[in-house]
Amino acid sequence: MKIKEIIVVEGKDDTVAVKRAVDADTIETNGSAIGDEVIDRIRLAQQTRGVIILTDPDYPGERIRKIVAEKVPGCKHAFLPKEEAIAKRKRGLGVEHASLESIQRALQNVKEEMQEYISDITWDDLLEAGLVGGEKASGRRERLGKLLKIGHTNGKQLFKRLQMFQISKAAFEEAVTQVLQEDTE
């Protein structure tokens, strides 16, 4: 599978894993202290070929994703579920530990960031679905993020991603129904 866009990853091990899974070029951020030089390269990549951000499904990975997305608008996003990024033999969580199939699946389900979209999903919809403010909210958000392929987030990030990736109210409601059914099983 050949990827036209340049994939932004955190480090060398992520590049190795991505290149084993797909034919693609990468830019490494080398952690969350992303320098201006790296941001400039990502901007150039966005202008010429487009960019897909594929970071680890943890706090530092989300922080890097947020920094890059803020400084380079219009990036696409690929998300790996946490359970598919856990190291088998040693401790660790990240893109470098994911299987080839998991990386390919994440890149096939890329979400495009839209700047001017206003969703009909409201904060009240998240409250009513039990996605914020309850003891089961975090688990529900994690399952919803996996179903919608937008990653695991806190409540505010979920609301922003639903807007940013233009998730329709129908798709949201369908996923919420499935999540709530899983709660009762």
Q: What CATH number does residue 63 fall under?
A: 3.40.50.140
pLDDT higher for 32 or 130? 130
Q: Would residue 117 count as lying in a domain?
A: no
Mean pLDDT of 111-115: 71
User: With the CA atoms of 167, 113, 11 and 31 taken in that order, what torsion angle do they form, in degrees rounded to the nearest 10?
Assistant: -100
Q: Do 66 and 13 share a structural domain?
A: yes
Last residue of a domain, one of 90, 112, 134: 112
Check pLDDT > 70 for residue 12.
yes
- 46 and 86 assigned to the same domain: yes
- Shared domain for 105 and 155, answered yes or no, is no
* Domain count along the chain: 2
SS3 102: helix
Q: Cβ-count burial of 111 within 10 angstroms (0-12 exposed, 13-18 middle, 19+ buried)?
A: buried
Q: Would residue 157 count as lying in a domain?
A: yes
In a domain, 27, yes or no: yes
* Domain match, 76 and 139 both: no
Residues counted in the chain: 185
> Please, which pLDDT band fits residue 103 given cuts at 50, 70 and 90?
very high
Domain range for 158 = 123-184
Residues 105 and 72 in one domain: yes
Statement: residue 166 has pLDDT above 90: no
Among the candidates 89, 112, 135, a domain finishes at 112
In which band, very low, low, confident or very high, does the pLDDT at 39 lie, cut at 50, 70 and 90? very high
pLDDT at 178: 94
Name residues whose C-beta falls within 8 Å of residue 154's C-beta, 6 or more positions apart in sequence: 141
pLDDT class for 9, splitting at 50, 70, 90?
very high
> Up-side HSE of residue 46: CA atoms within 13 Å toward CB?
21
Under the banding of pLDDT at 50, 70 and 90, the label for residue 163 is: confident
pLDDT > 80? residue 119: no
| Weakest-pLDDT range from 26-40, 57-71, 111-125, 161-175 | 111-125
Same domain, 106 and 41: yes
Shared domain for 105 and 128, answered yes or no, is no
Q: How far apart are CA 49 and CA 133, in angstroms?
A: 40
Bridge partners for 86 per DSSP: 93
Instruction: Check whether 141 has a pLDDT greater than 90.
Output: yes
Rounded CA gap, 126 and 36, in Å? 36
Which of 57, 78, 112 represents a domain boundary (last residue)?
A: 112
- Specify whether 128 is located in the same domain as 173: yes
| Contact indicator for 57, 87 with CB cutoff of 8 Å | no
Looking at residue 2, its amino acid is K
- What b/e readout covers 12-29, taking b as 16+ CB neighbours within 10 angstroms? eebbebbeebbebebbbb
Q: Is the pLDDT of residue 84 over 90?
A: no
